[in-house]
Chain A
Amino acid sequence: MRKQLNKEVAVFKSRMNRKRALIADTFCLTKRRRCAADSVTGESQADIRSSLQYLVTLFSRKLFNDSLPPVVLKHQLYSLHNDKTSVDKQVVRSDCNKCSTWDSVQSHFIIITLMHSEALVFSFPRQNELRETGELLMFQLGFDSEAFALVFAEDYRAKVLQGEAGRGTLGTVEKFLTKLIPSCSDLSFNKEKMLKEFLFTDSEITQLVKSGVLTVRDAGSWWLSIPNSGKFIKYFIKGRKAVLGMVKKSKYGEILQTELEGRRTTSQVKFQMKYHIHDIIGAELVECIQTTSGTLLRYVDGNVN
């Protein structure tokens, strides 16, 4: 009654494989408990870092005359890792230390029994979130409320100071960076915070805005930003549109990922093809289908480009 095309059968079979694994897991629960302590989290944190480093290599530095630090978007990580929630946990700072999911096998549980037979359950995340330790900075780029940019802190610091060299605002910017990098992981700052916590004066704030480290968000609040990133955003959006157009114009609106990587890029696409491909997969602008000939990217209708 409801027939399926060959590709759909391939999709079905791959789904069945995943379901098989899940079903097998359900019945092998006892075995899992007896397994030695999972080294999965240690691995996954190293994985995130290595994926970030891999994505950094895809970023074209020469395009911006080496004035921008390599920028990676958070959703590009989703295309490399299956579990979006764990990627988020490691990259986004969680405000509380309490474990709010019920089945995180990867956290320690420490139970402290108090008087009156009450018990407090603490769970400490095993991995140090990359942003907590100050290694990674996150920025709100502005063209999409869900698109966040990630930059390694040392790269950011180096490039900003390089750009500021010889200007009068250098001292203020350095002061801001030393305050920002180790401890703070906010995306935006309001006036109170700047004046009271960071002890900046109004004129210093103006200098920071002029140098590009802060951009105006609202009356009395500023986003943290990357200096000279306007060009980056422009090229990025154009490139994304062009790559999506390539997928859309293909026959049936779908194309194998390997074929797309091999295509010649138009002049609109300034970044490497792989950079854009990770972006459109991670942002779910195309549907990723596993087939016997590789990954197929199918254009998803209803995209607002």
Chain B
Amino acid sequence: MLSFLYARQSGLDDPVRLRRAESTRRVLSLELNHNRDVDRIHGNGINTLDIEVIDGRYMLSGGSDGVIVIYDLENNSKKPQYTCKAICTVGRSVCRHVHKFSVETVQWYPHDTGMFVSSSFDKTMKVWDTETLKPAEEFQFDGNVYCHHMSPVARKHSLVAVGTKDPKVQLCDLKSGSRIHILQGHRGEILSVRWSPRYDHILATASTDSRVHIWDVRRASGSLFTLDQHNGDKSKTSSEAVNTAHNGRVNGLCFTADGLHLLTTGTDDRMRLWNSATGENTLVNYGKVVNESRKGLKFTVSRGCSPEFVFVPCGSSVAVYGLHSGELITMLRGHYNNVDCCEFHPDYQELYSGGKDCNILAWVPVLRQPDIEDEETNSKRGGTHAAINPAFEDAWSSDED
């Protein structure tokens, strides 16, 4: 660590390297911390979480009871013990515009926190004004809305892609309120939609027909290409499964932060990494990623680390895999019931996960222990495992630079 600091100071190394190394170290030491807690508001399972992009301060959560809660993640109390308070709630008794059934997806407006969009099994998608907590716009659909997504980089358009029970992907325009743009190609329910974080016109959709389509929304014709798990080698599989991304329903999509790779999960208990430009399967083998979700699975990828990590809810724990190596790093155990969603906070390298046990857990990197000379402070702290300490001492002493 000292060598990294010296190299940065003297200009031998790029400043990014130190940041990346430290971010990676922090992600590898994620743990439940008894100092950090999130207010428990939901009475039913939590389906979705979203942290706003601008400040990373406010987090939205949507629950199975239709309730939406906004939390403040920042710790201004000057004490290490902190509970993330719920600032406001769109609750059942308080608000008459609340969703009738479970909220499946929530997302902050990517450019400021004045607005957020939520979609639910009551076949509506509502665009909320954060100040008044009233919906500014409501879109009605014919079937359950499984997911929606707004492009995080788009400046020229404000399209929301919506995946419902209908095999047609609908694009709703927030500027005009119209939703005439339809993407046809799937043959089953759309379980997940995701815009690329690199290009504002590229959209990926995943469906129960085992296929993932990549679309360019500016084109009038069909999808750009479909992801094929065998990379065109038709001989490997039975003829019905040709040109499919998974051998079961595809229920999770996530782009990496640079938008160059796409991760998909399916009910065949597999997770696959694809090159998002060519649609080629990189054949990274993550092993068995247990997936029994009938709806979409919300998982996330770390940002700013090297190597990157994937956090996937697996049963009642969150599995952490190395993105390109496919190796299972660790399982984060702490929930009492199934985990449904997880969200990574890139500035503090924290992970928030929510599940059926109505808890949102905050996984916080373990702080470095003070030196052995300060014995008093050591005895005061307690709690954190001594196993971390020798690791960093070893790293320091082995660096001869």
Which residues of A line the B interface, CB within 8 A? Answer: 1-2, 13, 15-16, 18-20, 22-24, 26-31, 78, 82-85, 87-89, 92, 94-96, 100-103, 140, 145-146, 186-190, 217-218, 221, 284, 302
Contact = CB atoms under 8 A, between A and B. Distances in A.
Contacts of A92: 283
B84 interface: no
B225 interface: no
Given A24-B394, A218-B239, A83 B327 contact: yes
Nearest to A15: B330
B235 A94 contact: no
A28 B397 CA distance: 11
Q: Sorted from nearest, which 9 A-B pairs have the closest CB atoms?
A: A84-B285, A186-B235, A284-B288, A20-B391, A188-B235, A100-B282, A218-B239, A27-B395, A85-B326
A221 B34 contact: no
Contacts of B114: none
A27 B324 contact: no
A145 B325 contact: no
Given A19-B29, A186-B235, A85 B292 contact: no
A258 to B, nearest CB: 24
Contact of B1 (A13, A15, A27, A189): A27
A146 B288 CA distance: 11
Contact of A23 (B28, B275, B280, B385): B28
Contacts of B290: 302
Interface residues of B, number: 55
Contacts of A284: 287-288
Given A18-B330, A85-B283, 17 more contacts: A2-B334, A23-B25, A23-B392, A26-B28, A28-B398, A29-B21, A30-B3, A30-B7, A84-B286, A85-B325, A94-B283, A100-B280, A100-B282, A140-B236, A186-B235, A188-B235, A218-B239
Nearest to A1: B34
Contact of A27 (B29, B286, B387, B399): B399
B232 interface: yes
A143 B30 CA distance: 40
Interface in B1-49: 1, 3-4, 7, 17, 21, 24-25, 28-29, 32, 34
B329 interface: yes
